[in-house]
């Protein structure tokens, strides 16, 4: 049973527009949420995180929104750039970090 779900396996966005990556979770005990970015044949790199006591965290072009009542979080990238093309993993933590299956983001020229 997947506790962290990324229902869109892939997403294509025009360069310069906003990319919105979505993630749903089922475990209400998760207290911390993270986004990782992964290029092919490389390990994931930490991107941004949010504590469950907050509803928004922003870092440059990246903003994560958390809706606890809906058990939903999203990552917004604006403006999208070609280097943003990668697989993005949503993750959540209770006593260990649990990852979603990832969403492949394609930034179109």
Site for other proteins contains 70 (CB under 8 A): no
By CB under 8 A, name the one of 1, 42, 53, 69 that touches other proteins: 42
Query: Closest CB to other proteins among 6 and 85?
Result: 6
By CB under 8 A, name the one of 23, 63, 100, 107 that touches other proteins: 100
Neighbours of 88 (CB within 10 A): 23
Site for other proteins contains 53 (CB under 8 A): no
């Amino acid at each position: 049973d997947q506790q962290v779900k990324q229902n869109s396996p892939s997403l294509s966005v025009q360069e310069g527009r906003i990319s919105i990556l979505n993630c749903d979770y089922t475990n209400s005990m998760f207290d911390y949420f993270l986004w990782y970015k992964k290029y092919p044949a490389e390990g994931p790199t930490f991107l941004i995180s949010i504590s469950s006591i907050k509803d928004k965290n922003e870092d440059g072009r990246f903003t994560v929104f958390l809706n606890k009542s809906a058990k939903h979080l999203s990552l917004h990238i604006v403006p999208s750039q070609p280097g943003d093309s990668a697989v993005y993993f949503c993750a959540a933590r209770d006593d260990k970090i649990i990852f979603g299956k990832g969403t492949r983001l394609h930034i179109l020229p």
